[in-house]
Structure formats: C-alpha cells, structure tokens
Structure 1
Amino acid sequence: MTPRSTPPRVGLFGLLGGGNIGNDGSMEAVLAHLRAERPDAVLDCFCSGPEHVTEHYGVPATPMHQWASYRLERRGPAAAALKALGKVVDAGRTLAWVRRHDAVVVPGTGVLEATLPVRPWGFPYALFLLCLSGRLTGTRVALLDVGAEVIDSATTRAMVRWAARLAHHRSFRDEHSRRVVRDMGVDVRGDEVGADLTFALPLAVAPAGPTGIVGVGLMAWSGGSGDRRRAQEIHDSYLATMTDFVGRLVDDGRRVRLFVGDALDDAVVARVLADLRADRPGRELSVEAGSIRSLDDLVRQMSDVDTVVATRYHNIVAALRLGKPTLALSYSPKSDAVMAEMGLAEFCHPAHFPDPDRLAAQFAELEARREQLGRVVAARAAAAADRLHRQLSGLCRDLLGERPAAVPRIDSAA
C-alpha cells in the first residue's frame, strides 16, 4: 500500500467526555497511538462531552445530540417535540460529520450492550446513524475492541445489530462479546478478539514493597435496564454490603482508599463515609477518598495499594493493568471475562445482592495469595498490552495506509 499524499482525517465517536473515566481512557489509548504512529492525521470527535474532550485532550469536538443545544426543560409536550425533532436533525448532522473523514473509530467501551440502563433512541440510535452514514458516504467505520452483551429490548437489539452489520471493521474486547454479536445474527468470522483498550495505556510506577492500603472502588449501582422496578432495593443492598466491608477493614486497623469510575459515584462515596462516621462517633477513620476525574487520577491513586476490591468495570481493568490482585463485584459478564483472562475467575462476587460474609472470606483468600496472584496478573496484563499495540498498528495501516516518510504533525481538525 502506497503512502497517502494528503493528511488523513480521522474521527473518534462515542460517549466520550461525559464523566465516565473508562470511556475516556479507551479514547486516550487510541489518541496516543494515532499521535505516535500517524502524527499527520487530522483528528476530531463526535461525542457526548465535547467541551471536556477539547479542554483535556486538545481535540476539536462536536456534540453527538442536537438535543443538547436546546437547553430547555426536558419534560412536557414542547420538550418531547423538540427531542423528536432533534433525532431527525441528528441523522443529517451525523451524515455531514462522517463524510468529512477518511475513517471513524469507535474506541472500545460497551457500545453493543445495555448492561446499564439505556434507551434505544439514545446512544444505540446514534451508533446506528454513524455506521449507516459510513456506508452511505464510503467512510470506513471501525468498532475497535468493543464490548457487547445480550439485550432484552427488541428495539435496542435491532439498532445494535444493524450498527454492527454496517461497520466496516469490528473487533471485540473479549470472546464473550464476539459470541453475543454472532448470536444476534452478525457474521463475525474473521473478527478479532483483542482486549480492553485501557490495557494499552502506559503503566504507573508502583512502590517497591507493600503499603498495607486496600483500594475499594464504589459505584452508583442499582441494576441494569431490566431491573428498574427493583432499582432501589438493589442499590440499598449493594450500599449496605460495601459499607459493612469497608467498616470491617477499618475495625481491623487497615488503611482504605476509596475510588470511583464516574461522576455519578461520588454520592455513593459520600454516603459510605457518612455511615461509617455515624457508626463510629469520635473515631479517626483510616479512610481516604481523593478526587478522581480521569483515568490518570485513578491510576495514580491505585498505584500504591496492595489489593483492590471494585465494582465498576474500568476500576477493575485499571487495577489489573497495574498488576493488582483484584476482587470484582461483578454486574456483567464483561467483568467475569476480564477477571478470568487475568487468572482471577474465583475472585468474582455478584453485585446483585452481595453477601457480606462471603465477600470478606474471598478478600481474605485474595490477600493470603497476594504475591503469587500479583505475578500472574502482571504477566497477563503485559501480554494484553502487547497484543493491543500490534492490533492498533495493523488497524492504522488498514484504515489510513502507510505512514509517509516525513510529515508535519497536525493534531486537530481545521
């Protein structure tokens, strides 16, 4: 393949910049690779948080939904009418944005799932418009190492199925996701299984020896799309168990550091801290909770903990990338899959109505085997990182052609 004579225009698409640090970490991994291998590429985003993406990553960005520009109350007949109009306008906006690019990359994340509550006319519709626009304009759309899950809603499932069929390139972060998409009726023969893209990010420097700190990742967990009627019950059970677990650590004299993975999780951290203080009046609690607004923040705060207990998927992945023995409160097969790949299948615990005593027993076993498990996790995480770098290099060549011998660096769209 001969080098291009003009700089390629590459778009990134997804729920990026909206407060979920795992989503942003996946984008960051792709941005870093593009900037290293194709510094001539002109980059921009079509996403849910354009202001954040531009401010923090230096990439021009366009809001994914026309509705976001109306800035009106979201209830009542007028709001409903404007929202419906916005969906029509979004079709034209998406087509116009896609046609300006040589390739569009959807960088990882669970774009083919509905594990957490999602409406079909939200992101699934936006993803369908993207892939359809790619076919209509000839722009190559790549779903890169994405996650998928069985979807109960027929409308959402249809949107996701057609998006997957229309994409020019598909790869999956685990074999489970590939199998789910195959069972939806999509031909996945030849589609590659990679890993979660955040495994491609550089490692933080960890301390030489144990520190005694336990990391606990909390989540605003209240079930998935099929659990709306029991959402409060699920949330209360999860909150009670995690408060009990952290309380046991504190009572045993352990230092605890609390993590989040989304801005929504801050309220859960505040509630756990408040309940711990109420149950232990006058005591100085050995619990800390620093501000986390990016994957870099999370990795820095995780770097010196000995073990991690986490719920949100990208808290789990970040811990594994750092080689930390990890116990996952799993709310989805994606958590089970990555834990099994890293040699920790026995250290999964259900996030639905978790059992405090069993959770404590699993944690005790994790700590007893900490050194041996840490070596296994570190080796497997390094292998996943190597696999991703090879995959990303191949995708760059396939989508954009060979890199010119010498090009000026251009980081953003004109």
Structure 2
Amino acid sequence: MRRVAFFGETGIGNHGNDASLAAGLALLDGTGVRPLAVAQLPAVVAAEHGVEAVEIRCPSGPRHGLSSLAGRVADVLHLGRTVRSVDAVVVPGTGIFEGQGQRPRGIPFSLFWLAAWARLHRRPLLLLSVGVDGQGSPGVRWFFARTLAWADVVTVRDDGSARALAALGVRRAAAVVPDLVLRRDPVTAPPARGTGETDPLVAVGVMDWGGTERDADRERCTGRAVVLVRALLGTGARVRVVTGEELDLRVAREVVRRVRAGDPGAAVELSEARTVEDVAHALGGCHALVAARYHNLVAAVGEGVPVVATGYGPKQASLVAHYAPPGQGAERSHDRDTFDPAAVVAQVRDILADHDAESAHVRAVADADRAAVRAQEDRVRQLLGIRAREPATP
C-alpha cells in the first residue's frame, strides 16, 4: 500500500463528517502510506486535515442545460481515474447511506460508480462503520444496495443500520462497529456535581437544516428551542447552547438572544464550536446534553455526558438506547419537530438526580465502543497489509 483514498461528504462544515474523516485517517498514522481525500470541497479538507484532496465530481464538468449529461460522464471518468490512482478506497463512517433527503444523481450515484470502478480496477473498497437507514426513492436505494453489495468490507455503526442493510436486499454479513468518532479519547474531566440541584450545567444542541428548511419551519424549531432553554433555566440549571454544523450558528445565536431579551440575567451562554473536538471541549463541566444532531450526541457520550435526543431519524434513537440505562432508551429519544419540552426537562431532572451513576454508565459503554473501533483499525491494517514504519536507526 502506497496510497489510500478516503471518500466522503467532507469540507462542507458538517462537524461529524469531518471528524469521521479524521478518524479514518488515523488508520495510516505512522505507516508512511499517503492518504487522498475525495471530498466535496477539497481545498477546505486539504487545509484542515493537511492531506492531498480532490473533488468527488469532475471540477471541469459542465453542469447546466443539455451539456450536463456530458458533465455526468466526466464525473464518472474522474472517479475512475481517482480510484485507479490509489491502492485501496475507504468510506470512513458517517450516515452516507441514509436516504433521507438524497437525490439519486447525487452521492448515491457517486458511491455506485466508486464501487464499480473499485471492482474493475481491483482496488479493495472498505465501508467502515457507516450509517444506513433504508429510506429514499427507489433509485437512491438501488444505488446504495449495489454499492453495499460490491464492497469488500462493510461494517455498520448500529443495529438499526444492520436491519436497514437487510431491508435493502443486501445479502451479506455486516458486523456492527460503533461510530468511528467514538475512537477519540475524552478531552474533559467528569464535572463536579456541585451543591444540591442549584448549579448543574446542561448543554442544548440546536439545529438548522439549511437550504432545505423553510423559514416557517426554522422559526418553529427556534421557538421550541427557546421554550426548552427557558424551562431548563427554570429548574435552576445553567444552559450552554452548542452547535453541530456551521449552519446552526444563526439559530444558536437567535436562541440565546431571545432568552436574554426576556431575562437579561439568564444563565445561558453560547459555544460557537467549529469541530467535534470543539463540541467535546464545550461539553466540559456539563451534566447532560439535549441535542438533535447525531455527532453532538456522539461527542457527549465520548465525554461521559448523559444524553437526551430531540432527533430526526433512527440513528439518534439507536445511540440513545445504546447509552441510556437499561429500559430508558426509548423514553429519552424524541422527535425534533414534536418533542414536549416538559417531558425532556423531566428526563434531564432524572439524569441530574443520579448523575454520578448515569455518567459512569455512559463512560463504561464509551470505553467499550472505543476499544471496538480501535480493534477494527487493527483488522483493517492487517487486511490491507499496512504496517507502522520501523523507527529510524540513529
């Protein structure tokens, strides 16, 4: 192995996707094998990760009118040249096989041709700890099914993804290996519980869908977040508002502004995180997290912070069920658009009432998941024949 490509929707400001790429790149640490990131915004990825990067699509391909068909052909050929230039291809985690909001001619099309070229050029294709949900149009599901069937190695990040894989008609074994971002060591110490229940710190993660969300929907979700923050403040907790993608900043700022407008002395603060690592640091001292974004939840459990999800898909429910005390996972997963703030606050109160035991449970599960992800790294290195370089002789 001299060169390995890492394919993903990276460089677009999604903290979880970029953290997954960083976790994938750890496969090559100390080996001398050169990585190539195949990204949506390669210049951003190259600057942030210090690796060579190329675009998923052909940079010079026409995109408009009748000539767009020629652009699609150029994209296919560009992927073929990229795959041929490396010795193996890795898709490092993320929910890249989740069909919600996907169009067949987007990432599903690119994944299909990535797998086809890997087969043609006999390059190993490894899909590691990917998320699958079985949703999307028939075209999306067909492209996903072919890619998953043709890959040399497939592992999925939770039991729900394993079931979705089977529902797509893919007949292959796929081990469950937790999300790659869980390989991170904690960056914060467990928080002190404080005195009584007067000073806990609760993080609230907000979310903005971006260009796919109508203003009315954004306003409704912003208003619900304000209600939730005020309710948590009413329990005597302090609140730290966090983000999970650059798009979320405008909503986060607006939530804090509205809360302070109603109460200038409100114990609410804003963390403008730019990476999952930033989110993990922002969770320092927090006793619980309520959030919609999946990798906000991942960052929290990696730090031993108990979570309640106000999510938008099965992946949040799977993660919460995995990390909650037995029998409580279903209760702590809510829908982003319909959650009852009073019910969420009641669950946060339960976490705070038994925080030491809750946090210890989360840390124990995270330790096991961290070990599983790192064991997968060892297996992948062995499969690809990648070894660490011997230390230079003085």
Using the size of structure 1 for normalisation, the TM-score is 0.86
Partner of 1:198: 181
The 3 A distance-change label for structure 1 pair 231 and 178 is farther
Partner of 2:296: 315
Distance 2:242 2:60 in 1: 32
Structure 1 position 46 matched with structure 2 position 34: no
Tell me by how many angstroms 1:254 deviates. 3.0
Tell me by how many angstroms 1:82 deviates. 4.9
Partner of 2:136: 152
Distance 2:310 2:60 in 1: 37
Distance 2:225 2:306 in 1: 18
* 1:113 counterpart SS class: coil
The 3 A distance-change label for structure 1 pair 304 and 208 is closer
Match of 2:50 among 50, 55, 58: 58
Measured against aligned partners, the alpha-carbon deviations of 1:283-325 in whole angstroms (never above 9, x if no partner) come to: 2332221321111111111122121111100001110111101
Match of 2:121 among 137, 140, 143: 137
Read off the aligned partner of 2:44 and give its amino acid letter. H
Q: Is the CA contact 2:243–2:271 (under 8 Å) kept in the aligned structure 1?
A: no
Partner of 1:286: 267
Match of 1:123 among 104, 107, 118: 107
Distance 1:114 1:397 in 2: 32
Match of 2:256 among 268, 273, 276: 273
Partner of 1:412: none
- For residues 75-86 of structure 1, what are the structure 2 equivalents within 5 Å? 79-86=64-71
Tell me by how many angstroms 1:405 deviates. 6.0
Partner of 2:193: 210
How many matched pairs? Answer: 383
Partner of 2:364: 379
Measured against aligned partners, the alpha-carbon deviations of 1:300-353 in whole angstroms (never above 9, x if no partner) come to: 111221211111000011101111011111211111111111135132122132
Match of 2:2 among 1, 8, 11: 8
The 3 A distance-change label for structure 1 pair 31 and 402 is closer
* 1:382 counterpart SS class: helix
Distance 1:44 1:98 in 2: 10
Structure 1 position 306 matched with structure 2 position 278: no
Read off the aligned partner of 2:323 and give its amino acid letter. M
The 3 A distance-change label for structure 1 pair 373 and 79 is same
Tell me by how many angstroms 1:179 deviates. 1.3
Q: Single out whichever of 262-271 and 246-255 deviates more from structure 2.
A: 246-255
The 3 A distance-change label for structure 1 pair 291 and 332 is same
Distance 2:262 2:372 in 1: 48
* 1:15 counterpart SS class: coil
Read off the aligned partner of 1:202 and give its amino acid letter. D
- For residues 94-113 of structure 1, what are the structure 2 equivalents within 5 Å? 94-113=79-98
Partner of 2:231: 248
* 1:23 counterpart SS class: helix
Measured against aligned partners, the alpha-carbon deviations of 1:102-149 in whole angstroms (never above 9, x if no partner) come to: 11100000111123x222111111111111110111111111110000
Percent identity, aligned pairs only? 31
The 3 A distance-change label for structure 1 pair 262 and 297 is same
Tell me by how many angstroms 1:252 deviates. 4.4
Distance 1:25 1:82 in 2: 36
* 1:361 counterpart SS class: helix
Partner of 2:197: none
Measured against aligned partners, the alpha-carbon deviations of 1:74-108 in whole angstroms (never above 9, x if no partner) come to: xxxx8344544322211000000001111110000
Structure 1 position 365 matched with structure 2 position 350: yes
Distance 1:303 1:238 in 2: 26
Structure 1: which 5+ residue stretches go unaligned? 1-6, 73-77, 409-414
Tell me by how many angstroms 1:61 deviates. 0.2
The 3 A distance-change label for structure 1 pair 277 and 154 is same
Partner of 1:331: 312
Read off the aligned partner of 2:132 and give its amino acid letter. A
Q: Is the CA contact 1:327–1:363 (under 8 Å) kept in the aligned structure 2?
A: yes
Using the size of structure 2 for normalisation, the TM-score is 0.91
Q: Single out whichever of 88-97 and 322-331 deviates more from structure 2.
A: 322-331
Spell out structure 1 runs of 4+ moving beyond 6 A. Answer: none
* 1:12 counterpart SS class: strand
The 3 A distance-change label for structure 1 pair 336 and 97 is same
Distance 1:48 1:202 in 2: 28
